[in-house]
Amino acid sequence: MKKADGTHIVGIDLGTTYSLVADIQDGAPVVLPNAMGELLTPSAVSVDDDGTILVGTAARARAIRFPESSALSFKRDMGTDRTTMLGGQCFTPVELSGLVLRQLKADAESLLGATISEAVITVPAYFGDAQRQATRDAARLAGLTAERIINEPTAASLAYGFHRRTESACIAVLDLGGGTFDVTILQVTAGVIEALASAGDVRLGGDDFTRVLVEAAAVACQLDLGDRLVASVLFDAAEHLKRALSTRLQASAKVVLADKHLVDLSFTRADIEHHWRPLLARLEAPIRQALLDAHLATAQIDGVLLVGGAARMPCVTELAARLFGRTPKTSLPQDEAVALGAAVQAALKIGDASVEDLVSTDIAPFSLGIAVSEELRRSRVDDIFAPILERGTVLPASRSKVFSTTHPMQTALHIQVFQGEHSVISRNKALGEYFLEGLPPGRINPVEVRFTYDLNGILEVETTVLATGMKKSLIITNGAGRLTAEQLEASRQRLATLKIHPRETLPNRTAIELAESLFASQLGEEREAIGNMLTMFRLALAVEDRERIEVARKQLLAFVSAFKNRETP
């Protein structure tokens, strides 16, 4: 969508496993294909032997053979200080996400023929302040402004409500992606979409189900998962089997390890769902918490909307049907729903005519408060959490509470800001702190602490000494994994010097990486057939005839796809 300054704004689903870009075209949200013509871009980064950076499908394919120089699932580390070494270079989760966003931006700009300056980016509803700020930093590294961060289930509900503006219903959105699980209860009333409650687990997603399958395979075949290459090859095979088991009752695959050891993997859906029981049990807790926070019983829910690629698993559909007593809706493409909703939110942000009768609200995913001490039975107890703005509060919001100094000669206050739900402050997550000095001595001073939280996840804390009117405020912008302005600029300059694989030849490189990964996984006649196809494609590349290269690439990709589809009977 074109903004007033001539640049474009899009919606982006920055996922753990896959990422997507969507736009409003001809009055409706659509997902934009990448350079490969695919709607889903793997959230993967790999560094080649010569230091070239690969992003997307090529990186994910290369990660199977070279896990030590590839990064996957780094979204889970957003908002932390964790780093990843790739090809002798150190990357933060923000930088890795920035590389993915930069690739998405380049692909979308090429398709639209215009500059994209801004994006609405989705995050799990249960992402905290540090993770949301890190997402905004990643956008800046990619050359994007992300003033609006929206919860993934809310985005999915926007995509749903876009086509059902006359309906009135209470909807439970269950979003199971590659790395996170979110539940949001929403009230949809004639174009108004109101979030009532959210809950979730930022460490539970489709990847965890795959890892259980990997562990089961390793035990059955007596394989060492401490070997990163073995673990990587098994993960790829397990992911393929997991998808197959979503449509079949039994699936099998042959896996070739680095020592040319052939492993036969075979699972029934019943067997693997037995292994998945602990994960399925973990899905129930956030669902029940969201219903409790919304003060609703399952009977009061009119519909259940499943989104996220991992929600395709039959066991998830069966769990939702059992808990809510109704068959979940799958009216939206489960992989695309969040991105489509992000595009709708982008349209709302700029007042596009396509959404003039649509309204959406969001809520705070966590309670926010400060550390206090209290006197109980003549003893002072520290480490107490005093919530000021509670989870479920409709945003934007401003809430305040009045506290008092602990003794008459106290002239300063240490304001410590936390998010979480535990009564003990140390069990919650610290967001920031500051000192308020100059309090008048000789009295107990009442002090008002106000939290103002906006739709973009920016928290402002303001403290007012009621006796004097003295104020001091803090905008929460720092924390683990959060870059300072200087660090952000240094990261931007460093990423600008990286050798990125040229976009125009990325489809060719991707085809080679996919075929090479398949070549490494086979033996005998199958390997020879794949090798012949690779040789034919490389001959076409040597001739440098664009038309011939395109035909050969399509033939190679079709061969790889057909071969993979026959792997799992």
State the pLDDT at residue 400: 97
State the pLDDT at residue 481: 55
Taking residue 215's Cβ as centre, other Cβ atoms within 10 Å add up to: 15
Over the Cα atoms of the chain, what is R_g? 26
Whole-number Å distance between alpha carbons of 49 and 174: 41
Whole-number Å distance between alpha carbons of 215 and 222: 10
- Verify whether residue 26 is a known catalytic residue: no
Q: How far is CA 268 from CA 173, 224, 255, 314, 524, in A?
A: 29, 23, 17, 13, 27
Whole-number Å distance between alpha carbons of 244 and 237: 11
What three-state secondary structure class fits 248?
coil
Whole-number Å distance between alpha carbons of 478 and 431: 7
- Verify whether residue 13 is a known catalytic residue: yes
State the pLDDT at residue 13: 98
- Verify whether residue 349 is a known catalytic residue: no
Q: Which of 13, 23, 273, 567 is catalytic?
A: 13
Nearest residue to 323 via CA among 374, 284, 277, 280: 284
Whole-number Å distance between alpha carbons of 76 and 90: 17
Q: Which of 23, 75, 182, 349 is catalytic?
A: 75
The answer to whether the Cα torsion of 340, 346, 352, 357 is positive or negative is positive
Q: Which of 23, 48, 129, 152 is catalytic?
A: 152
Nearest residue to 230 via CA among 258, 207, 254: 258
Strands 359-363 and 192-201: what pairing? parallel
> Are 4 and 112 in contact, with CB atoms under 8 Å apart?
no
Whole-number Å distance between alpha carbons of 213 and 269: 11
Whole-number Å distance between alpha carbons of 498 and 435: 41
> Are 130 and 431 in contact, with CB atoms under 8 Å apart?
yes
What three-state secondary structure class fits 454?
coil
Residues 6 or more apart whose CB falls under 8 angstroms from that of 136 comprise 121, 146, 149, 456, 457
Taking residue 420's Cβ as centre, other Cβ atoms within 10 Å add up to: 21
In the chain, the amino acid numbered 126 is Y
- Verify whether residue 236 is a known catalytic residue: no
State the pLDDT at residue 478: 53
Can you count the helices (H) and strands (E) in the chain?
14, 27
Q: How far is CA 191 from CA 23, 155, 303, in A?
A: 20, 14, 16
Residue at token pair 């996170």: 180
> Are 287 and 321 in contact, with CB atoms under 8 Å apart?
no
What three-state secondary structure class fits 36?
coil
Q: Which of 107, 118, 137, 175 is catalytic?
A: 175
Q: Which ranges of 246-335 does DSSP label H, i.e. alpha helix? A: 269-275, 277-293, 314-324
| Residue 263 CA neighbour count, 13 Å, CB half | 21
Q: How far is CA 568 from CA 213, 267, 369, in A?
A: 15, 11, 52
pTM for the predicted model, two decimal places = 0.88
Token output for 422:
């535990």
Residues 6 or more apart whose CB falls under 8 angstroms from that of 289 comprise 183, 199
Write the DSSP string, 492-536.
HHHHHHS-BPPGGGHHHHHHHHHHHHHHHT--HHHHHHHHHHHHH
Whole-number Å distance between alpha carbons of 402 and 329: 46
Peptide bond into 387 cis (omega under 30): no
pLDDT tens per residue across all 569 residues of the chain: 999 899 999 999 999 999 999 999 999 999 999 999 999 999 999 999 989 999 999 999 999 999 999 999 999 999 898 999 998 899 999 999 999 999 999 999 999 999 999 999 999 988 888 898 899 999 999 999 998 999 998 899 899 888 887 788 999 999 999 999 999 999 988 888 898 998 999 889 999 999 999 999 999 888 888 888 889 999 999 999 999 999 999 998 888 876 667 888 899 999 999 999 999 999 999 999 999 999 999 999 999 999 999 999 999 999 999 999 999 987 789 999 999 999 999 999 999 999 988 888 888 888 999 999 987 777 788 889 999 999 989 888 999 999 999 888 899 999 999 999 999 999 998 988 999 999 999 889 999 999 999 877 778 999 999 999 999 988 876 555 566 778 888 888 888 888 888 888 889 999 999 999 989 888 888 889 999 999 999 999 988 788 899 999 999 999 998 887 765 44
Residue at token pair 């003794």: 407
Whole-number Å distance between alpha carbons of 355 and 192: 11
State the pLDDT at residue 526: 86
What three-state secondary structure class fits 491?
helix
State the pLDDT at residue 320: 96
* Region of residue 403 (left: phi > 0; alpha: psi -120 to 50; beta: else): beta
